[in-house]
Amino acid sequence: MALIVQKYGGSSVADAESIKRVAKRVVDTRRAGHDVVVAVSAMGDTTDELLDLANEVAPIPAPRELDMLLSSGERISMALLAMAIHSMGFEARSFTGSQAGMITDSQHGAARIVDVTPVRLREALDEGAIVIVAGFQGFNRDTRDITTLGRGGSDTTAVALAAALSADVCEIYSDVDGIFTSDPRIIPTAQKLDHISSEEMLELAANGAKVLYIRAVEYARRHGVLIHARSTFSSSEGTYVLGEGMKNPREAEEAEMEEPIVAGVATDFSQAKITVAGVPDVPGKAAEIFKIVAKSGANVDMIVQNVSATGRTDISFTVPKADAAGALKSLAAEQNEVGFSNLVHDDQIGKLSVVGAGMRTHSGVSAILFEALSAGGINIEMISTSEIRISVVLRDSDLAEAARTVHTAYGLDGEIEATVHAGTGR
Ligand code: ASP
Ligand code: MG
């Protein structure tokens, strides 16, 4: 008998029918003899709708009240799921984040979990109940207020519960079948991975893959939680995300399989490029520029600086599209101070990233990427690398084609087309 934490995303509990389907899955797990703790997201687009409402009554909603409002979405789904389970003849008890002992810092809208004290959950489990917990929310001890963890925070709730309860596995259910070598909506030949290392998963998530949230994967990595990402709509197994030293539960079946060098290809359309042109090529200018950008709150990803022949250089960098306007405004205000000649804003870019732990030990991995892009006649505008990732910035109109070409070049294409349940991955 195991202790299993299951997380169901908004698309899995979108309506009464879906909630009943989830209830059945939970009950099946209980029937198999396991203890079950469930973390749920709000139904469908509830969180977005609540946010819209808030913005209709106030231009800048008070953060405390916004968290009171948004946390109500998960209270609806948790209670309905508990009722559905009751009606199947099983004991279930729902708990808010604060009842579940989800203790966070005080930052409304982006709270971090600092402690989990699941006393009431333990009691309920000991009494034989199925436990349902509202995802995405917590409680701060100093302010005694309800907090939320940031969009997509229910993944983190589930992983934190799994860590605190020493669960055997944290199953994250969504409307996709698992982690794929690339986004199957862009690359139909993308294959579902049997397993992936958490460090590869973090790089993919940070570079555009949307199946799992970065903070949840980080939390799992730090606390040694085994994640199993799988689909609510099928009973087939999904993808295991393995932390350091963790064994693949399916190892026995496929012993001796050689690990591929590249785990996946991620695409990201969410960034914009800013070029600061004609920057005096003297020490301290990059520092000035990036201090200004940081103060505007923009999160810089890639940076390139041209060689200067004339004593002036161009510095280009990428930021999330939503941050670009603020960064441009702040830079423009300091143009004379910094002494650059002009600013260029380009939001027609796309980022392609190739991720694989095998890059550490294999040479020639980047050559394959560059050859594939060159054969496809695709121009590269920026390049950056980490130990296990190579990213390039391209025209956004080239990104899908580039991803398909590169996916093929690394031998990642599967024989059968991936099934996509028209899902969002949430
Ligand atoms: N309901 C929240 C959101 O939509 C949390 C989640 O779905 O994980 O962001
Ligand atoms: Mg949601």
Distance between CA atoms of residues 200 and 354, nearest Å? 10
Say if strands 389-395 and 382-386 run parallel, antiparallel, or are unpaired. antiparallel
Indicate the CATH number for domain 3-175. Answer: 3.40.1160.10
Which residue's CA is the nearest one to ligand 1's atom 9?
151
pLDDT at 90 exceeding the cut of 80: yes
Query: Ligand 2 center to residue 393 CA distance, Å?
Result: 30
Which atom of ligand 1 lies closest to the CA of 73? 1
Q: What is the largest CA-CA distance in the chain?
A: 79
Tokens of 388: 């296990």
pLDDT of residue 256: 52
User: Which residue, among 149, 225, 212, has the nearest Cα to 179 in the 3D structure?
Assistant: 212
| Torsions phi, psi for 229 (to 5 deg) | -90, 120
10 CB under 6 A from ligand 1? yes
pLDDT of residue 211: 84
From 7, 8, 40, 41, the mutation candidate for ligand 1 (largest count of ligand atoms within 8 A of CB) is 41
Domain boundaries, the chain: 3-175
pLDDT at 420 exceeding the cut of 70: no
Tokens of 158: 């589930």
- Return the half-sphere exposure (C-beta side, CA atoms, 13 A cut-off) of residue 360: 9
41 CB under 6 A from ligand 1? yes
Tokens of 133: 């917990």
Which atom of ligand 1 lies closest to the CA of 9? 7
What is the per-residue pLDDT across 44-55, written as a single tens digit (0 to 9) for each?
A: 999 999 999 999
Output 426 or 416, whichever has higher pLDDT.
416
Name the average pLDDT for the chain: 94
What is the per-residue pLDDT across 133-166, written as a single tens digit (0 to 9) for each?
A: 999 999 999 999 999 999 999 999 999 999 999 9
pLDDT of residue 85: 98
What is the per-residue pLDDT across 2-49, written as a single tens digit (0 to 9) for each?
A: 999 999 999 999 999 999 999 999 999 999 999 999 999 999 999 999
Confidence tier at 422 by pLDDT (50, 70, 90): very low
66 CB under 6 A from ligand 1? no
pLDDT of residue 185: 87
pLDDT at 183 exceeding the cut of 70: yes
pLDDT of residue 253: 57
* Count of C-beta atoms within a 10 Å radius of residue 7: 28
Distance between CA atoms of residues 131 and 128, nearest Å? 9
178 CB under 6 A from ligand 1? no
151 CB under 6 A from ligand 1? yes
Distance between CA atoms of residues 159 and 39, nearest Å? 9
Confidence tier at 309 by pLDDT (50, 70, 90): confident
Confidence tier at 307 by pLDDT (50, 70, 90): confident
SS3 labels along 210-275: CCCCHHHHHHHHHHCCCEEEEECCCCCCCEEEECCCCCCCCHHHHCCCCCCCCCEEEEECCEEEEE
pLDDT of residue 426: 53
**412 touches 190 (CB < 8 A):** yes
pLDDT at 237 exceeding the cut of 70: yes
pLDDT at 72 exceeding the cut of 50: yes
Q: Average pLDDT in the 169-190 region?
A: 93
What is the per-residue pLDDT across 318-372, written as a single tens digit (0 to 9) for each?
A: 999 999 999 999 999 999 999 999 999 999 999 999 999 999 999 999 999 999 9
